[in-house]
Structure formats: structure tokens, C-alpha cells
């Protein structure tokens, strides 16, 4: 990288209108951008033009900080975290940048003086949905925290042209629609074609002897893809640090001589170009499951190779010798999606930069660290050897060699244990041969972490047990966290203001300070403000539901919300069984005294996941009946909010009374929605799974609704032989619920529609809904009872928020810095002459 000499920075002249933060200045800049960037004047400008003009106005203010940050990192060759992730679920940028710049109010005033409404403009932004769920959103929270904690970092990923699909609901079924997030342009990014990188695919390898008589390998690829970086600045909260999110777009390399390959076949060459561009076309829409598609593996090597080569370019640009790669960069692998980095870094060091095996291996291990995000067997990535070797012939050779050295090590530590060798090998040879990506990641990294205490423990005892016995020192836990900037300050300004009015605003950077709220838990005035804020936010959601779904909702009912990806292990259908239980009670006794509830669902199902889609259909079908049955008398409402996204989540979390975190114990690695709900004052009903365990520990068991089997009880029950039918026959209410569905009551008499779902429950019930049913119902009855005591509920809500400080992503990042990354903060001062003059 070319360093910007100091004197050049000192001479940098940036006009006030690009940096100034006063209302007057912002107004001028806004109109200027409308004119010069959008090419519009107020009379003909669309809402989108106004949004774009505002976005550019804000971006200008980021650029000053971004360039300063880059200059300082470059000058000091600062140690940097590379966060490699196939997903970054950033959510809309505008609002967050306003919060982090600390100019939300000024901008609101500026646009309002121009006759516009800020909320309206914020609504315009199409969010970059470049992720499926928790894993992608976690990456985004971590980038926010790294910028806020002034940690030099680069987020590396793929700039998918189509992010996660938009979800429509038709006749109760999910329908997928392509997401065109780029169709109006993206004002936040800057393309850097001058830093393009080339990635090879396919072909074969050839051995040769170099001039020093050493054995070397040359890779003759079948195809070369060009990766073009697109950079987005990410500003920390009230700091001058603006780090970079660098996403790669795939293109055909124009310098590649197609004619030579295709004998003048022009259309063939264009075809080749289209094939290349396919690589970054679309995000695979599976959460927590791997599909084993060739294009997906190509995406992984594409972004990993681009990113590692980019890091090497930076290392050379800063005059750091390549032998010190691991001192300049620590590379965090977000699950196994980037695990090919182990083989790719080895290949780059050995084949491209002439390094010997042992030194390359030592650098690789010292540079890489691996985060595991799941215990689900179907999510553990493995690639058929045939596919792998066809796409990455050189990497396969390297993996075989790593495996050879590794298995020697295992033999030395555990002699005469051939079964262990078979289990631990990087190659699964039990049938068709596969490369095991989690094993590759474990062997090639110096750190292996899970994402909640229970999850890490289960990794050590079960999924990665052999690796734990081999390398106990590599294992550590880093419980997930979420950013309070986006998920409280931006999404819940009313609660933010109330909290800050009592305890000041340090909590935004130091979330543990929320504990000072405990002092006000007996203050009736404060409690009543707390309650009226929740009520006002619920009113807003009522209006939204009325408009979106045409359903009238009682704002005083319990807002009982389950918002997350649809998956059987998350058990949205257990929630549905509860709804039908209440419905049955009303049908049996229409005058029964029931605490009114509104059941709200949001979430997408993977397009190929039939059972998850059927659960969505079931919920909508229950809604159609329950919402319109006169016997119910509006005491129950069921609402499915379509197209759940980050933007949407920000609207939903603040309105919840009750947060549903009801996965079968041992399946949810952490969960992060659980944290966002609790931070907004919802109480949780949950199993002892993932981070629920730690949330309960923090907020106190009396402020958390726990139910169901624990992870060890789940294993024990399964080992004994689980028979769901026994529960069905012995539980009257459960039987009535299942029979009600089977009778066609929710499907216009169609008894076949939900049969696959019912059969899977009655005869298999892999996620133990029936075993947990009664405990869940009893716990929900208790929730209903507690809710009637409004003072008690409010008190519990306040205590939840006050005690949730641990779950800030700032705490998580601080722990990664200390235990894994060994990295310090680098504060950024704004150089005098490029500082805003205000
Ligand atoms: N699906 C886990 O299932 C966890 C997030 C982030 C997940 C969640 O419980 O909170 O990761 N796992 O750590 C995953 O994506 C590939 O595995 C998720 O988002």
C-alpha cells in the first residue's frame, strides 16, 4: 500500500461544507449534494433523491475520519484484526452513522427546516441484507464495537448483488422475491478497482525443481476471477475511528486472453464473463446448514484468497517483512465458511512467496483463529474430495500434507489409537471422501472459541472433543454480544432518553453502567415512565400491524414475540401449540378469564426447507381462525409480520413484553435476539440453551421465565428412547391441540395439509416438543399471571435492562482483544487542518 506522506495530509484542504456539523452547514451541504451528486432540484426530487443527498452529506463527514484513520494505521503499521466472514448483516447505515457521529438531532432539524421528515428519509434506505441471521448480524455488531473501541480492523466479505431474499406471504405461505438492494445505487461504498486481486480456480498442478534445486509446485488454473474491493467506512460511536468493511465483487479479468483459449469465440468469452460474475451474484439463503454446492465453495475461496492477498499487499506496503505477517494481522474466521484460509495462506506463503513449509505453517497457525457457531450436524461443512480437487487441486495437495503432519502429531500424543486417527483426520473416509472444514480450521488456528459458555462446553465434550483432548490450550469461550448503539440508542430513543435522564449517557459506551438503574426500581415516578414508554412503543407497532396486516391488536395485551429464522430446533411450532391450547380453553369455556395476548412472529425460512415453510403456513392458518372467531373476543391475536430484517427488527424489539427463546436445549449456540429483546425491557421465556443460561444468571432467576429439559436431560431422554406418542396419549390438552390441527380446523377441513408436520411430531419429534410441552404451558400460565401484576412486571423489566450490561458486543470484543488477538487500541486524532472548523 502506498503510504500517504504526512505533509500531504497536513496540506489536505477540505471545505467546511464537507465536514461541518452545524444545522446551517448541514442544510447547505444537503442541497449541494442534491444538486451536484443527484442532479436534482427540490421541485422534481424524489424521496430517494433526498435520501441519497443526505447519505452523501453524512458520508462526507465520515470520509474525513476515515482518511485520518487510514493514514494513522498506515504510518504506524498498526496491528490489525481481519474479520473474515461470508456474511455481514449491516442493516441500514444512515441512522447508525447519525448516532455514531452524534448529529442525529442536528440533522433532524436541518431536514425539517427544509420541509422534510428525517424518519421518512431513513425509511428509504434499502438495507444491505448480506447475511442470513445471527452469524451475519454478529459480524456487524463486532465491527461497530471494534470501531468504537478504536481497534484497527478490516471486515472482509462478499458484495453479493442479491442479499437475503425478500419474503412475501401469499395465502399463508412464504414466497421468495429477489432482493435488489443495489437498484438505486449504494452511497456508502467506494469501489477500489486499482486494488483488484486475481483468484485462480480449477485446472491442475505440475511439480518442478527450482533454480536452487528445491521441489516446487506450479498451479495451472482453468479459470481466473478478478475480485474488486468495495469499501464502506464504519464509524465508531463518538470516536474518530472509521474502520473499513471491504467486500469483493467478482468480475472477469479483462486482461485474460479469451481469444487464445476460445479461438476467437467472442460469445464464448462473454459467456465466460457471465460465469465469473456469477460468483458474487447471490447469498446462499441457508442459516445453520450447508448445501455442498460448487458455487458456494468457489465463493469461499474467492473472498478468502482476495482478502489474504490484500493483507499481503498491505504488509508489503508498510514495509513489514512477510515473516511477520502474524504480527501485523490476526485473522478471525467467522465459522468454517472462510476455513479454506488455512490452505490458502500456506499456498500463498510457499508457492507464491518462496517460504519453507515449517515457517509457513508457524505463521499460518499464529495468524488464524476460529470461531465455531453451531452444534448442528447438518451445518458442519464438508466438501466431497472430487468437487474440492476439481476446483482447488493445489489446496487439496496442501491439505493432504497438513493432514499427514497432523496425524503424525496425533499418533505421538495418542499412540495406537487408530480409531482416533480416523475420527480426527481432515479427510472423512467413512464412505465417499470429504474434506472436513471444521477440522481444518481447528488444526490451522491457534484459538478455537464457542459463542456462549454452554456452547463452548458442549464443543469440548462432544462435537470437537478429540480436538479438545489434543489441544486443550486452544479452546476458549467468547459469549456473543450486541451493539447498544443500533439496538437501543437508534432503535429505542424513548427508552434511551429515559435511561440517560437518570444515569447520564456513559452506558452507551460502557453498558455495565446500566446497573445504576437499579437504584430507581422502587421509584414510582420512574416505573410509571418506564411503563408508559413501553405502551407508546406498543401503540406504534399496533398502528404498523393495522396497516400491514389489517389486524386490530389490543395494545394492553401481552406482546409475545418470536422473531428469528424459522427452524425446527427453534421450535416456533411449540409456540403455536401454546396458542392452540389457549384457543381450546376458550372454545371449551368462552367466558374463561384469560390474560389477553398478541402472538407476533417474524422470520424467514430457507427456501428449500419444507418443514420450516409448513410451520409458517400453520401459524398463518391459526391466525386466520383465531383472529376471526367471535368466541375469542379479541383476547388472542396471531400476527405474522413478513420480511423480517434488521430494519424491521429495530422496530420489533422495543415493543416486546415477552421474548420467546424456546429452542431445544443444546441446539442454539448462543442466540443474540435474546439479548436485544432483554435490553429493550422484554422478559424472556426460555430454555437453558445458548446464552439464555448466562442472561438468566445475570438478570436473576426470579426475573426470567425458565422451563423445559436441560441439555443433559435431553441427551438422557434420547438415550433412553424417546416416545412422543406416550406424551400425546397421556396429556389431554396436548392431544386436543394435535387433534384440532389434524381435524382440519385450521385448514378449511383439509386434513392432509399439516399431516407431514404432525407425523414428524407424533412419530419422531426430534426436537422434543412433546416432552417440553407441559412445562412450557405451565410456564406460560405463570407468565400470564405475573403480567396481571403490572408493578411486578415493570420491576422485572427494569431489572432485566439494568443487569444486561454483560451482553454488549464491546465486552465480547474486549475479550477477543485480550485473550485471542493481543491487540491494543489506536486512538485517532483529527489532524488540525482537516478538523471541522465549527
Ligand atoms: N444461526 C447460531 O445458530 C448464534 C449465531 C452467532 C448461529 C446462533 O445461536 O447466535 O450463529 N450459527 O454466533 C451459525 O450461523 C453457521 O452457524 C446462527 O446465526
205-234: per-residue pLDDT in tens?
Answer: 999 999 999 999 999 999 999 999 999 999
In the numeric block, the cell 367471535 is attached to 630
The answer as to whether 68 is a domain residue is yes
The predicted pLDDT at position 835 comes to: 45
Domain final position from 464, 480, 496:
480
Mean pLDDT over the full length of the chain: 95
Percent of the residues in the chain that have a pLDDT greater than 90, as a whole number: 92
Tell how far the Cα of 87 is from the centroid of ligand 1, in angstroms.
Answer: 11
The residue whose C-alpha atom lies closest to atom 11 belonging to ligand 1 is 135
Burial letters 111-147, b for 16+ CB under 10 A, else e = beebebebeebbebbbbbbbbbbbbbbbbbbbbbbbb
Domain final position from 419, 448, 480:
480
Cα separation, 329 vs 821, in Å, equals 9
The verdict on 739 and 621 lying in the same domain is yes
The verdict on 355 and 502 lying in the same domain is no
With a 6 A CB cut-off, is 335 part of the ligand 1 pocket? yes
The verdict on 436 and 568 lying in the same domain is no
For residue 162, name the pLDDT band (cuts at 50, 70, 90): very high
Helix (H, G, I), strand (E, B) or coil at 636: strand
Could you give the number of structural domains in the chain? Answer: 3
For residue 366, name the pLDDT band (cuts at 50, 70, 90): very high
With a 6 A CB cut-off, is 690 part of the ligand 1 pocket? yes
The predicted pLDDT at position 9 comes to: 47
Ligand 1, pocket-test mutation among 131, 135, 283, most atoms within 8 A of CB:
135
With a 6 A CB cut-off, is 671 part of the ligand 1 pocket? yes
Q: Is the pLDDT of residue 638 over 80?
A: yes
Bridge-based pairing of strands 223-235 and 242-251 is antiparallel
The answer as to whether 836 is a domain residue is no
Bridge-based pairing of strands 242-251 and 166-170 is unpaired
The verdict on 766 and 799 lying in the same domain is yes
Ligand 1, pocket-test mutation among 131, 289, 670, most atoms within 8 A of CB:
670
The predicted pLDDT at position 794 comes to: 98
Cα separation, 177 vs 167, in Å, equals 6
The answer as to whether 334 is a domain residue is yes
With a 6 A CB cut-off, is 480 part of the ligand 1 pocket? yes
CA distances from 276 to 81, 200, 201, 329 (A): 29, 11, 11, 29
Q: Work out which ligand 1 atom sits closest to the CA atom of 671.
A: 10
Q: Is the pLDDT of residue 650 over 50?
A: yes
Catalytic residues: 373, 564-565, 570, 672, 676
> Residue 551 has which C-alpha cell?
389486524
Strand stretches in 699-829, DSSP E: 705-706
The residue whose C-alpha atom lies closest to atom 10 belonging to ligand 1 is 671
> Residue 314 has which C-alpha cell?
498491505
Tell how far the Cα of 137 is from the centroid of ligand 1, in angstroms.
Answer: 9
Q: Domain containing 774 — which CATH number?
A: 3.40.50.2000
For residue 694, name the pLDDT band (cuts at 50, 70, 90): very high
For residue 2, name the pLDDT band (cuts at 50, 70, 90): very low
Segment 463-473 shows an average pLDDT of 98
The verdict on 285 and 381 lying in the same domain is yes
Supply the ipTM of this predicted assembly. Answer: 0.98
The predicted pLDDT at position 727 comes to: 98
For residue 504, name the pLDDT band (cuts at 50, 70, 90): very high
Q: CA quadruple 233, 236, 241, 246: dihedral positive or negative?
A: negative
The predicted pLDDT at position 17 comes to: 84
With a 6 A CB cut-off, is 661 part of the ligand 1 pocket? no
Domain final position from 445, 480, 515:
480
Segment 365-376 shows an average pLDDT of 98
The answer as to whether 651 is a domain residue is yes
Bridge-based pairing of strands 427-428 and 80-84 is unpaired
The residue whose C-alpha atom lies closest to atom 12 belonging to ligand 1 is 373
With a 6 A CB cut-off, is 668 part of the ligand 1 pocket? yes
Cα separation, 158 vs 249, in Å, equals 7
The predicted pLDDT at position 486 comes to: 98
For residue 289, name the pLDDT band (cuts at 50, 70, 90): confident
pLDDT digits (tens, 9 = 90+) for 242-285: 999 999 999 998 755 555 555 667 777 677 778 888 999 999 99
Burial letters 366-379, b for 16+ CB under 10 A, else e = ebbbbbbbbbbeeb
What is the pTM assigned to this prediction?
0.96
Question: Residue 411 burial by CB count (10 A; 0-12/13-18/19+): exposed, middle or buried?
Answer: middle
The verdict on 110 and 149 lying in the same domain is no
The predicted pLDDT at position 291 comes to: 85
Q: Is the pLDDT of residue 838 over 70?
A: no
The verdict on 600 and 710 lying in the same domain is yes
pLDDT digits (tens, 9 = 90+) for 297-324: 999 999 999 999 999 999 999 999 999 9
With a 6 A CB cut-off, is 138 part of the ligand 1 pocket? yes
Cα separation, 460 vs 508, in Å, equals 34
Tell how far the Cα of 373 is from the centroid of ligand 1, in angstroms.
Answer: 5
Segment 58-70 shows an average pLDDT of 96
Length of the chain (residues): 838
The residue whose C-alpha atom lies closest to atom 16 belonging to ligand 1 is 288
Q: Work out which ligand 1 atom sits closest to the CA atom of 668.
A: 9
With a 6 A CB cut-off, is 334 part of the ligand 1 pocket? no
The verdict on 105 and 221 lying in the same domain is no
758, 741 contact by CB (below 8 A): yes
Q: Which helix (H) or strand (E) holds 546?
A: helix 524-549
The verdict on 468 and 538 lying in the same domain is no
The answer as to whether 818 is a domain residue is no
The verdict on 344 and 307 lying in the same domain is yes
- Residue 185 — left, alpha, or beta (φ > 0 → left; ψ -120 to 50 → alpha)? left
Ligand 1, pocket-test mutation among 84, 130, 133, 289, most atoms within 8 A of CB:
133
Tell how far the Cα of 582 is from the centroid of ligand 1, in angstroms.
Answer: 32
Helix (H, G, I), strand (E, B) or coil at 93: coil
Q: What is the CA radius of gyration of the chain?
A: 28
Q: What does residue 216 show for φ and ψ, rounded to 5 degrees?
A: -135, 165
Cα separation, 694 vs 807, in Å, equals 9
Give one DSSP letter per residue of 803-822, joined into a string.
Answer: T-GGGBHHHHHHHHIIIII-
pLDDT digits (tens, 9 = 90+) for 707-754: 999 999 999 999 999 999 999 999 999 999 999 999 999 999 999 999
Query: Mean pLDDT lowest for which of 2-6, 97-101, 404-408, 594-598?
Result: 2-6
Percent of the residues in the chain that have a pLDDT greater than 70, as a whole number: 96
Range of the domain at 28: 15-76+93-126
The answer as to whether 327 is a domain residue is yes
Tell how far the Cα of 289 is from the centroid of ligand 1, in angstroms.
Answer: 10
321, 77 contact by CB (below 8 A): no
pLDDT digits (tens, 9 = 90+) for 559-568: 999 999 999 9
The predicted pLDDT at position 191 comes to: 98
The predicted pLDDT at position 270 comes to: 72
Tell how far the Cα of 287 is from the centroid of ligand 1, in angstroms.
Answer: 8
With a 6 A CB cut-off, is 343 part of the ligand 1 pocket? no
Tell how far the Cα of 580 is from the centroid of ligand 1, in angstroms.
Answer: 29
Segment 543-570 shows an average pLDDT of 98
> Residue 519 has which C-alpha cell?
437504584
Other CB atoms within a 10 A radius of the CB of residue 46 amount to 12
The verdict on 303 and 392 lying in the same domain is yes
The predicted pLDDT at position 698 comes to: 98
For residue 379, name the pLDDT band (cuts at 50, 70, 90): confident
Tell how far the Cα of 448 is from the centroid of ligand 1, in angstroms.
Answer: 15
Question: Residue 162 burial by CB count (10 A; 0-12/13-18/19+): exposed, middle or buried?
Answer: middle
The answer as to whether 816 is a domain residue is no
The verdict on 192 and 122 lying in the same domain is no
With a 6 A CB cut-off, is 482 part of the ligand 1 pocket? no
With a 6 A CB cut-off, is 133 part of the ligand 1 pocket? yes
The answer as to whether 667 is a domain residue is yes
**Closest to 481 measured CA to CA, from 52, 198, 57, 138:** 138
Cα separation, 516 vs 503, in Å, equals 7
**Closest to 760 measured CA to CA, from 625, 615, 646, 580:** 615
Segment 500-528 shows an average pLDDT of 98
Q: Work out which ligand 1 atom sits closest to the CA atom of 287.
A: 1
> Residue 452 has which C-alpha cell?
456462549
196, 227 contact by CB (below 8 A): yes
Amino acid at each position: 500500500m502506498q503510504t500517504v506522506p504526512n505533509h500531504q495530509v497536513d496540506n489536505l484542504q477540505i471545505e467546511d461544507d464537507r465536514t461541518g456539523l452545524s444545522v446551517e452547514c448541514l442544510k447547505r451541504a444537503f442541497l449541494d449534494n442534491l444538486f451536484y451528486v443527484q442532479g436534482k432540484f427540490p421541485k422534481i426530487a424524489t424521496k430517494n433523491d433526498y435520501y441519497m443527498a443526505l447519505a452523501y452529506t453524512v458520508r462526507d463527514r465520515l470520509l474525513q475520519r476515515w482518511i485520518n484513520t487510514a493514514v494513522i494505521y498506515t504510518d504506524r503499521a498498526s496491528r490489525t484484526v481481519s474479520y473474515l466472514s461470508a456474511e455481514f448483516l449491516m442493516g441500514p447505515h444512515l441512522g447508525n452513522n447519525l448516532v455514531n457521529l452524534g448529529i442525529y438531532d442536528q440533522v433532524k432539524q436541518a431536514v425539517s427546516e427544509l420541509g422534510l421528515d428525517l424518519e421518512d428519509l431513513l425509511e428509504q434506505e434499502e438495507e444491505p441484507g448480506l447475511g442470513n441471521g445471527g452469524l451475519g448480524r454478529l459480524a456487524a455488531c463486532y465491527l461497530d464495537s471494534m470501531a468504537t473501541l478504536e481497534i484497527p480492523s478490516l471486515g472482509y466479505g462478499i458484495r453479493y448483488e442479491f442479499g437475503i431474499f425478500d419474503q412475501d406471504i401469499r395465502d399463508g405461505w412464504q414466497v421468495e422475491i429477489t432482493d435488489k438492494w443495489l437498484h438505486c445505487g449504494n452511497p456508502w461504498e467506494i469501489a477500489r478497482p486499482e486494488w483488484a486481486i486475481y483468484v485462480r480456480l480449477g485446472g491442475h498442478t505440475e511439480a518442478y525443481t527450482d533454480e536452487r534445486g528445491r521441489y516446487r509446485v506450479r498451479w495451472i488454473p482453468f479459470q481466473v476471477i478478478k475480485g474488486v474491493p468495495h469499501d464502506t467506512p464504519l464509524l465508531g460511536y463518538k470516536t474518530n475511528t472509521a474502520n473499513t468493511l471491504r467486500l469483493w465483487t467478482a468480475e472477469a479479468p479483462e486482461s485474460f486472453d479469451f481469444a487464445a483459449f476460445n479461438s476467437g469465440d467472442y460469445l464464448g468469452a462473454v459467456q465466460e464473463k457471465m460465469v465469473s460474475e456469477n460468483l458474487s451474484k447471490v447469498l446462499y439463503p441457508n442459516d445453520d446448514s450447508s448445501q455442498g454446492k460448487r458455487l458456494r465453495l468457489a465463493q469461499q475461496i474467492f473472498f478468502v484468497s482476495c482478502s489474504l492477498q490484500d493483507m499481503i499487499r498491505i504488509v508489503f506496503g508498510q514495509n513489514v517483512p512477510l515473516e511477520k505477517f502474524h504480527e501485523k494481522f490476526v485473522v478471525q474466521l467467522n465459522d468454517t465458511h472462510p476455513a479454506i484460509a488455512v490452505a490458502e495462506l500456506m499456498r500463498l506463503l510457499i508457492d507464491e512467496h518462496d517460504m519453507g513449509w515449517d515457517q509457513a505453517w508457524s505463521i499460518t497457525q499464529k495468524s488464524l483463529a476460529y470461531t465455531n457457531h453451531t452444534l448442528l450436524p447438518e451445518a458442519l461443512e464438508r466438501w466431497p474430495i472430487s468437487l474440492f480437487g476439481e476446483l482447488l487441486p493445489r489446496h487439496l495437495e496442501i491439505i493432504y500434507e497438513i493432514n499427514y503432519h497432523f496425524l503424525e502429531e496425533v499418533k505421538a500424543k495418542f499412540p495406537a489409537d487408530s480409531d482416533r486417527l480416523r475420527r480426527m483426520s481432515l479427510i472423512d473416509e467413512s464412505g465417499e471422501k470429504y474434506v472436513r472444514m471444521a477440522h481444518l480450521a481447528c488444526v490451522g488456528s491457534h484459538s478455537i472459541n464457542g459463542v456462549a459458555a454452554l456452547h463452548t462446553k458442549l464443543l469440548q465434550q462432544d462435537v470437537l472433543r478429540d480436538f479438545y483432548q489434543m489441544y486443550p490450550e486452544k479452546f476458549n469461550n467468547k459469549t456473543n454480544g450486541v451493539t447498544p448503539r443500533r439496538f437501543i440508542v437508534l432503535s429505542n430513543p424513548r427508552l434511551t432518553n429515559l435511561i440517560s435522564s437518570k444515569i447520564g449517557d456513559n452506558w452507551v459506551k460502557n453498558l455495565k453502567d446500566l446497573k445504576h438503574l437499579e437504584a430507581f426500581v422502587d421509584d414510582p415516578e420512574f416505573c410509571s415512565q418506564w411503563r408508559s414508554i413501553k405502551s407508546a412503543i406498543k401503540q406504534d407497532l399496533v398502528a404498523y400491524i393495522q396497516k400491514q396486516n389489517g389486524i386490530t391488536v389490543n395494545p394492553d395485551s401481552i406482546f409475545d414475540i418470536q422473531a428469528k429464522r424459522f427452524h425446527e430446533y427453534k421450535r416456533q411450532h411449540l409456540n403455536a401449540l401454546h396458542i392452540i391450547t389457549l384457543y381450546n380453553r376458550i372454545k371449551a369455556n368462552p367466558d374463561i378469564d384469560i390474560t389477553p395476548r398478541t402472538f407476533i412472529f417474524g422470520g424467514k425460512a430457507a427456501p428449500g426447507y419444507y418443514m420450516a415453510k409448513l410451520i409458517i403456513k400453520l401459524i398463518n392458518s391459526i391466525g386466520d381462525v383465531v383472529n376471526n372467531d367471535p368466541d375469542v373476543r379479541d383476547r388472542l391475536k396471531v400476527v405474522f409480520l413478513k420480511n423480517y430484517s434488521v430494519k424491521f427488527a429495530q422496530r420489533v424489539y422495543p415493543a416486546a413484553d415477552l421474548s420467546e427463546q424456546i429452542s431445544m436445549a443444546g441446539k442454539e449456540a448462543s442466540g443474540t435476539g435474546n439479548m436485544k429483546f432483554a435490553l429493550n425491557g422484554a422478559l424472556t421465556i426460555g430454555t437453558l440453551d445458548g446464552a439464555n443460561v448466562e442472561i438468566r444468571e445475570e438478570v436473576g432467576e426470579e426475573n426470567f421465565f425458565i422451563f423445559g429439559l436441560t441439555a443433559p436431560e435431553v441427551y438422557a431422554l434420547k438415550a433412553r428412547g424417546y416416545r412422543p406418542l406416550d406424551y400425546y396419549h397421556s396429556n389431554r390438552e396436548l392431544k386436543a391441540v394435535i387433534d384440532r390441527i389434524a381435524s382440519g380446523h385450521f385448514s378449511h377441513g383439509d386434513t392432509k395439509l399439516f399431516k407431514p408436520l404432525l407425523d414428524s411430531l407424533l412419530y419422531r419429534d426430534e426436537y422434543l416438543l412433546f416432552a417440553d410441552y407441559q412445562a412450557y404451558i405451565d410456564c406460560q400460565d405463570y407468565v400470564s399471571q405475573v403480567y396481571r401484576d403490572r408493578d411486578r412486571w415493570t420491576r422485572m423489566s427494569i431489572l432485566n435492562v439494568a443487569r444486561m450490561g454483560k451482553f454488549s458486543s464491546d465486552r465480547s470484543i474486549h475479550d477477543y482483544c485480550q485473550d485471542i488477538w493481543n491487540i491494543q487500541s489506536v486512538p485517532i486524532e483529527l489532524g488540525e487542518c482537516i478538523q471541522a472548523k465549527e
